[in-house]
Amino acid sequence: MSKNVDFNEIQRFSADIRKETLRAIGAAGFGHIGGAASIADVLAVLYGGMMKIDPKNPNWEDRDWFVLSKGHCGPALYATLALKGYFPMDWLLTVNKPGTNLPSHADCQKTPGVDMSTGSLGQGMSSAVGIALGNVVKKRDSYTYCIVGDGETNEGEVWEAAETAASLGLDHFFVFVDWNKKQLDGRLEAICKPFDLEEKFRAFGFDSRTVTGYDVEAIWDAIESAKHVKGKPHCIILDTIKGLGVKLAEDQEFNHYLNFDLEEAEKSMAVIDERLANGTYPGGDFKW
C-alpha cells in the first residue's frame, strides 16, 4: 500500500515542522505549542505527499482542501506551508505581530494556502463538511481533510457536522481527532470524559479507526485504507501526546500555551536534531 513512499523523508518533514513552529512561536514570545506539536506528524503526511496541492497556485480549484478546526495551532500549519513554498520562510518570524500575514489563528484572507479561517472551536468542522459537499456539487474528485482537537469535541457543533457528513455520505471527507489527552483547562478526563471517540464517530455513521498519531507510516496507511470505504465519511483518531517532540513542552504538565523566547526555542530545536541523529525522534526518552 505504501511501498513507494519515503517515510524517512516524511518524518524529517515533521521534524522541520516542529522546529519551524518553535522558531515562529519563539519569535512571538508566546503561543499554543502543545497542540501544535502533536499535529506535526499528520501535517507532514498530508502535505508531504498525500494531498493534491500546488503551492504556486494555492487557489487551484481541483486541489485537496485542508481545514485546521483547532485554529489556535495555526503556527504549525504556517510552518508546514512555508516549508512547502507557499510563502517565504521569514514570514514565520512575524507570527502574531502587527501587520503580519500570519495571525495567531488561521485566516484564509491573510495567508496563502489556508483554505478556511478558524479559531472558534467546533465551527471548522462544519466549514469542512460544507467544503466537501461543495466539491461534490462541483463534481470535483477532491478530498477535504480536517483536524479537530479532542477537547474541541466537547462542542456540540462537531457532532452536528458529523451527523450531516454521514447523512450526505461524504466519502471524500476525513476528520482527524488530535487525541493528545489534554485541553485548555487540564486533562480530558477531569474536564469532560470523552469516552471512546472511535466508537462515537462510528455511531454517527463514520468509517472510524485509531492509529498512533506520531507514526507517519501508520497515518498514511490509515488514510489509504479508508479511501477504499465508500459511502461514508472517515474519522482517524490520532493517539498522540500533547507537546510531543518539543522538549520545553514535554517538560511541563500544563503545555497548552507557553511563553518562551527564541533562545529557548533553539534549545528544543537542537534536541530534535539530536533525536533524529540517534534514532529516538520524536520522543527521546520521554516517559509518557
Q: What is the pLDDT of residues 24-78, one digit of tens each?
A: 999 999 999 999 999 999 999 999 999 999 999 999 999 999 999 999 999 999 9
pLDDT for 288 beyond 60: no
CATH number belonging to domain 7-278: 3.40.50.970
Full strand arrangement of the beta sheet holding 144-149: 65-68, 144-149, 173-179, 234-239, 207-212
pLDDT at position 283 is 87
Q: What is the mean pLDDT of residues 3-25?
A: 95
pLDDT at position 187 is 93
Residue 57: exposure state from Cβ atoms within 10 A (0-12, 13-18, ≥19) = exposed
Residue 1: band (very low, low, confident or very high) from pLDDT cuts 50, 70, 90: low
Residue 143: band (very low, low, confident or very high) from pLDDT cuts 50, 70, 90: very high
pLDDT at position 287 is 58
Buried b (16+ CB within 10 A) or exposed e, 163-198: ebbbeeebbbbbbbbbbbbbbeeeebeeeeebeebb
DSSP-assigned beta bridge partners for residue 207: 234
Do 156 and 164 form a contact (C-beta atoms < 8 A)? no
Backbone phi, psi, residue 120, to 5°: -80, 105
pLDDT for 3 beyond 70: no
Closest among 89, 2, 83, 38 to 213, alpha carbons compared: 38
Model confidence over 240-253: pLDDT tens digits?
999 999 999 999 99
Q: What is the mean pLDDT of residues 74-84?
A: 98
First to last CA, the chain: 31
Q: What is the mean pLDDT of residues 208-234?
A: 98
Do 146 and 128 form a contact (C-beta atoms < 8 A)? yes
pLDDT for 122 beyond 90: no
pLDDT for 120 beyond 70: yes
pLDDT at position 119 is 85
pTM of structure: 0.96
Q: Which residues contact 194 (CB under 8 A, 6 or more apart)?
A: 150, 153, 179, 188, 200
Model confidence over 260-287: pLDDT tens digits?
999 999 999 999 999 999 999 998 766 5
